Structure 1
């Protein structure tokens, strides 16, 4: 499992779907928002929680189609399916590798980019916490979507259409936790719901991912 994780991390970085691409997209979105809505601090502060979460979500989409595509193209995916390692574990490792190369860097960079949107000072801890809890769910859902579209030509657009509706609950509760923190309210409820979504994704989606891969590899 550790060897597969290391391999996926190397492939993600070498293929251009790692740290740089997601962070660059995140930065571009955050920088462009003030040009679109205006430089008013009060307005930017109000929309900052939602915009930061939307930018993180879209940045996570960029590398989803590479999760299984590279393995399918070089023929290693059928070998993984017949290896002693269960496909459920393969799905978990793929999701972990995606999170480590996309979700974790976005979480670390988010406070600095929140400053560009005049995010309220009280919201920074909850921004970090919500992204740390919620971005693993984005990676696990994305891994399931990548398994659905593996082997399809131009499956990137279809993958986005399949995954985006599943991202909505995570987006709602993640942004709500940051918004409540910015307003001085208790964000515990939103964070617990966000954690429940992530726990549910990791409890159920590895089995769904493995089942879909078996069907697509027949």
Structure 2
């Protein structure tokens, strides 16, 4: 059942390629503007790369989070997906996983190319990829929770941003901090450990909270 539900979500995402590509295009364009704005000095670009790429990845992920449950709620599919024997918890997990596959994974593919534009060497590109690998699923999980909490509300997209942004700040700090530590020759184990702990905690708590919010929204 879980595999069929995930296959359905990915198939629906492929039918809306423009919606799937919008965050990726935003990520590339926004990150590409910084070298034009601050100048081509290699050392300066290298120092700011972690913060810039993480902020752009965060904002790109936020572009599509509010639509996670919206279409299914409007056509009545969401009611069917929450009826027994279906599980709201399973739906929350699958929705977050499908969002990451459609939006987070492309960011991971493009990030090394943007990192090269900022002059990052291979070791720092590896750290950037590792932090995004740990951080982007966390954004999808938080986005699913916010989308469930704002389901059916007016200005839900804006409320979604207000909910996710404060919760995502620790991931932004530890993700960009790991790259800064690598550049300074310091240990990045602390940053990676905290980022991993955030992902594990969010993975345990967010799906259950999302499932509860969905039941409340449709009750």
Q: Same fold (TM over 0.5)?
A: yes
Distance apart, 1:184 and its partner CA: 2.3
Q: Partner residue of 2:55?
A: 54
TM-score by length of 2: 0.95
Task: Render the CA deviation track for 1:157-209: whole Å, top value 9, x for unaligned.
Answer: 11111111011011110111111122222111100100000000010111110
Inter-partner Cα distance in structure 2 for 1:117 and 1:87:
42
Confirm or deny that 1:193 pairs with 2:170. Answer: no
Q: Partner residue of 1:17?
A: 19
Structure 1 runs (4+) deviating above 4 angstroms are none
Distance apart, 1:10 and its partner CA: 1.9
Structure 2 matches for 1:162-201, cutoff 5 A? Answer: 162-201=163-202
Structure 1: give runs of 5+ residues left out of the alignment: none
Inter-partner Cα distance in structure 1 for 2:104 and 2:43:
28
Q: Partner residue of 2:159?
A: 158
Q: Partner residue of 1:84?
A: 85
What SS does structure 1 have at the residue aligned with 2:86?
A: coil
Structure 2: give runs of 5+ residues left out of the alignment: none
Structure 2 matches for 1:60-75, cutoff 5 A? Answer: 60-75=61-76
Segment drifting more, 9-18 vs 52-61: 9-18
What SS does structure 2 have at the residue aligned with 1:17?
A: helix
Task: Render the CA deviation track for 1:44-99: whole Å, top value 9, x for unaligned.
Answer: 11110010111111110111011101111111011111131211111000000000
Inter-partner Cα distance in structure 2 for 1:67 and 1:207:
16
What SS does structure 2 have at the residue aligned with 1:119?
A: coil
What SS does structure 1 have at the residue aligned with 2:19?
A: coil
Inter-partner Cα distance in structure 2 for 1:83 and 1:139:
25
Q: How many residues align structurally?
A: 217
TM-score by length of 1: 0.95
Inter-partner Cα distance in structure 1 for 2:208 and 2:161:
21
Inter-partner Cα distance in structure 1 for 2:151 and 2:95:
13
What SS does structure 2 have at the residue aligned with 1:184?
A: coil
Q: Answer yes or no: is the 8 Å Cα contact 1:122–1:182 preserved in 2.
A: no
Inter-partner Cα distance in structure 1 for 2:120 and 2:84:
48
